[in-house]
Chain A
Amino acid sequence: MGHYLLRRLPSALVVLAIASFGIFALVRMVPGDPVSSLAGPDATPEARAAIRADLGLDQPLVTQYVHWLGRLAHGDFGTSYRIGGQVKDLVADGAVNTIVLTVTALLLAAIVALVASVLAVVLDNRWVNAALSFGNTLAIALPTFVTGLVLILLFAVVFPVLPAGGTPPDGFLARPDIAAQYLLLPAVCLALGAGAALTRFLTEALRTELRQPYVTTARALGIPRRRIVLTQALRNALPSAVTVLGIQFGTLLGGAVLVEAIFTWPGLGGLIEEAISGRDYPLVQVLLLLSVVVFVAIQLLTDVIHAWLDPRVRIGGAS
């Protein structure tokens, strides 16, 4: 397993290197620059030049890039142009909230998909399938801001049982029960789309597995169909489902920006919006690079889980 991971690592590092340059270049290609947004419309050319020199933006691009990488390597993420303060601290505060939210949503999506698709395949009932397919389509079709508002209206206004937004006042660990109440609505809102997509994928994967010859072998041995689904088909469908889940994580990270805005969840979403509109280069770069790092790490993780679940990857064949 360690050997397998080691073989994947170089390509992951290459992806990160390319991404870092892409991000650096992209941020500077966006029209507008931090100098005008910092100096204001009435600044003299001298004042602008001073700010430019101060931020190091008068240097050649390559020099800027190398300096940025050098500082990153030493753990120096730079200071924000507009908000002020260390980028490291700004990101750290929001990152915890966003990660808690997306990971909860990911787990929710995975559990819902697992239960729904296994039910659909085991029961194999027309009405159950129709209901699931209806729910699925709805969950995929409705945009996040609609489901978010409906959830708030239902569970915080009409039946006021859950908080409408914000994070638990004492953090996530002090009172897990209260934290769960705060997490529930935004996590459900974020998980809906991913969960529906995953349910659809897993249901189809299970049905495909049930058409495989090994299932016929099992049925010819007198093993009940339900047992075959649970102990054999699911085990074969899981590896590819895990890969899909890993890709869904990227969608979840993107979706979190919106969900955080609806539920006033102080995560990285707000920070990204603020940083991009202010052309706050150091902050934008770190935020984007962070999401790439997280995504690449998740891909590596799904590859490892995939290999662990599939003996054909894990153990070389004799034939």
Chain B
Amino acid sequence: MTDPEGTTVTTPLLEVTDLAISFSHPRPAVRSVSVTVDEGEVVALVGESGSGKSMTARAVIGLLPDGAKATGSVRLRGEELLGLPEPELIRYRGRRVAMVFQEPQTALNPVRTIGWQIGEALRAHGGVRGKAARARAVDLLREVEIPDPEERLGYYPHQLSGGQKQRVVLALALANEPELLLADEPTTALDVTVQAEILALLRRIRDRTGTSILIITHNMGVVAHLADRVVVLRQGEVVEEAATRDLFADPRHAYTRQLLAAVPRLPGPDERVHAVTDDDVPAVAADAVAALEYDDVRVHYGSRMRGRVLPAVDGVTLRLERGQVLGLVGESGSGKTTLGRLAAGLVPLAGGSVRVGGEDLVRARGQRRVDLRRRLAFVHQDPEASLDPRFSIAEAIREPLDVHAVGSRKDRDVRVTELLDAVRLPASFARRRPRELSGGQRQRVALARALTLDPELLIADEPTSALDVSVQAEVLELFADLQQRLGFACVFISHDLAVVNKVADQVAVLRAGRVVESGSAARVFGAPTHDYTRQLLAAVPVPDPTVRDATGPALREQHIAS
């Protein structure tokens, strides 16, 4: 493009200026956001929940929720998109700007074949039809590296794995060769090894086609791995913008520093060399009773009658000493959640035995079972779903005391205040309802509720996965503090290796219902002996852009189409 004086001026591909989005709600979702994306550039929009990052992306593609009012300007190669009527927006969507979403499980139509859905994307912009469309669909699936593309065209989404579904969503977005790809948390719902593959694929697509990418994420590792430039958002405003290397090396804004500091880290490859190599299992007396013992445990799902028996847990033997934290890590389907539920006797056992404090909970019946249950407690992933919305916070925390008829009413109220104090919530919260609390506060309440009966064993299933990083850091610190002080044993289940590294003494790495490696956290993460553990560790995107160029090629080689 040339301006009147004859000098070349480059218009950015995407130019968002002073974007503000509000609903009838008093606080605007986006206050003032300006972002530019250049030709072939990968820009990351980073922020925690409520920062307005997703809304910004939706405004770019004209898919804001009903009732949203947007002001400012969104220009694609200088053409204004904001405020365009639907029939005109449709010509941009998919053809010039395309979008990839977070949850591949629901982003595809479950009753139409993959081929049909790609065809529909092509038809939307009057592109190729018939044989040519089929050939194009096969090309697209090949481009997103799906094996046997011809055959996969006839598949329905439920016949594909999560990673493959996300590849198909990507193929749909790329169908009409858009200039700009918006990716809204494209790997958040995926396992780490799959996440690494999708990130590598996104980079290759950019290198091959020159498509610009605006990636929305909360994960600093993803940012470091993929982005050229980073825009940090907080409460609907840009707080910092910098090239990725500069941002990680020298964050200017206090919030950015806080965000980076909150990210739990794994020992880097160079630190791993010096890591502990001996398997330092704490010395215990041979006759000491373990807090939790799995002995050759087996669990099956499905029924023998239908002839489909799937082993969820396949011969696991593990031992958790009193006062220790055992981290269970693994990808989806590894059986980690099943093992946790097993400790509470919530899953029928197909073989082996589970002992809590030396007692067999699974086979206990009646009052005995109730008494044993008192010794353990659960903290679930989603505090929003695990607290009854009609209970006040005090009622929620007191419920276990009421159920087991502990002490007088007054004693119970005193205990509630004690517990609120222990999880660092003000006593005034007692009368509030869960919806009046933030996610992090709710998870503290869930923790208080779990500790009500002084459990010997706590089972925490992904307790911080639904939280923002800075909130996660606070909750983890609180957890570690309480665990030290109260001395309960804990099974800590998480897909996030860095989180487990931070809290666990012992770690067991699970895959397809079996333990592939176990030992002290420092040893397993510092000097892994099993290939799968090394693969998992390598797949975690390191929040350091200088590492990506070192590990990038390695990832490419070990790429396995999931």
A residues contacting B by CB (< 8 A) are: 212-214, 216-225, 227, 231-232, 235-236, 309-312, 315, 317-319
Contacts and interface: CB of A to CB of B under 8 A. Distances in A.
B274 to A, nearest CB: 41
Contacts of A236: 109-111
B111 A319 contact: no
Given A222-B93, A223-B124, A217 B108 contact: yes
Contacts of B103: 213
Interface residues of B, number: 35
Contacts of A225: 86
Contact of A220 (B63, B86, B109, B156): B63
B516 interface: no
Contact of B120 (A223, A310, A319): A223
Given A213-B103, A318-B160, A220 B94 contact: yes
B220 interface: no
A214, A222, A310, A315: residue with the most chain B Cβ atoms closer than 10 Å: A222
B98 interface: yes
A216 B94 CA distance: 12
Interface string B88-127: 0011111100110101001111111000000011001100
B173 interface: yes
A318 to B, nearest CB: 5
B111 A221 contact: no
A223, A225, A309, A319: residue with the most chain B Cβ atoms closer than 10 Å: A319
The 8 closest A-B pairs by CB, nearest first: A222-B94, A221-B94, A222-B93, A213-B106, A220-B99, A311-B156, A317-B158, A223-B124
B232 interface: no
Nearest to A311: B156
Interface in B124-164: 124-125, 156, 158-162
Nearest to B333: A319
Contacts of A317: 158-159
Given A214-B110, A219-B93, A223-B90, 10 more contacts: A212-B106, A214-B109, A221-B175, A223-B94, A232-B109, A235-B111, A312-B158, A315-B156, A317-B158, A318-B161
B176 to A, nearest CB: 8
Interface in B63-103: 63, 86, 90-95, 98-99, 101, 103
17 contacts: A213-B103, A213-B107, A217-B109, A220-B63, A220-B99, A220-B101, A221-B93, A221-B172, A222-B92, A222-B125, A223-B90, A236-B109, A311-B158, A312-B110, A318-B159, A319-B160, A319-B161
A225 B172 CA distance: 17
Given A311-B158, A318-B161, A319-B161, A223 B110 contact: no
B74 to A, nearest CB: 15
Nearest to B308: A316
- Dominant SS among interface residues on chain A: helix
B93 A217 contact: no
A222 B124 contact: yes
A224 B99 CA distance: 16
B120 A218 contact: yes
A295 to B, nearest CB: 27
Contacts of A218: 109, 120
A217 B158 contact: no
B91 A222 contact: yes
B90 A217 contact: no
B112 A235 contact: yes
Contacts of A231: 120
A231 B119 CA distance: 12
A196 B124 CA distance: 34
Given A213-B103, A315-B156, A319-B162, A221 B110 contact: no
B325 interface: no
Nearest to B90: A222
Given A213-B103, A217-B169, A311-B158, A224 B90 contact: yes
A241 B322 CA distance: 55
A169 B11 CA distance: 81
Nearest to B116: A231
B108 A221 contact: no
A240 to B, nearest CB: 12
A214 B105 CA distance: 9
B61 interface: yes
Nearest to A318: B159
Nearest to A212: B106
Interface of B: 61, 63, 86, 90-95, 98-99, 101, 103, 106-112, 120-121, 124-125, 156, 158-162, 169, 172-173, 175-176
Contact of B121 (A212, A216, A223, A318): A223
B386 to A, nearest CB: 24
A309 B159 CA distance: 16
B41 to A, nearest CB: 21
A219 B121 CA distance: 10
A221 B156 contact: no
Contacts of B98: 220-221
Nearest to B172: A221
B180 to A, nearest CB: 12
Contacts of A216: 63, 101, 107
A34 B90 CA distance: 73
B62 to A, nearest CB: 9
A47 B107 CA distance: 77
A234 to B, nearest CB: 10
A318 B165 CA distance: 12
Contacts of A223: 90, 94, 120-121, 124
Nearest to B165: A319
A225 B62 CA distance: 13
A222 B110 contact: no
B93 to A, nearest CB: 4
A186 B153 CA distance: 48
A208 to B, nearest CB: 13
A209 to B, nearest CB: 10
Nearest to B122: A221
Contacts of B107: 213-214, 216-217
A215 to B, nearest CB: 8
Nearest to A232: B109
Contacts of B121: 221, 223
Nearest to B103: A213
Contact of B172 (A217, A310, A319): A217
A9 B98 CA distance: 48
A9 to B, nearest CB: 16
Contacts of B172: 217, 221
Contacts of B156: 311-312, 315
A216 B108 CA distance: 10
B108 A214 contact: yes
A214 B120 CA distance: 13
Contact of B101 (A217, A222, A311, A318): A217
Contacts of B162: 319
Contacts of B93: 219-222
Contacts of B94: 220-223
Contacts of A212: 106
Contact of B110 (A220, A227, A311, A318): A311
Contacts of B91: 222
A218 B158 CA distance: 18
Contacts of A220: 61, 63, 93-94, 98-99, 101, 173
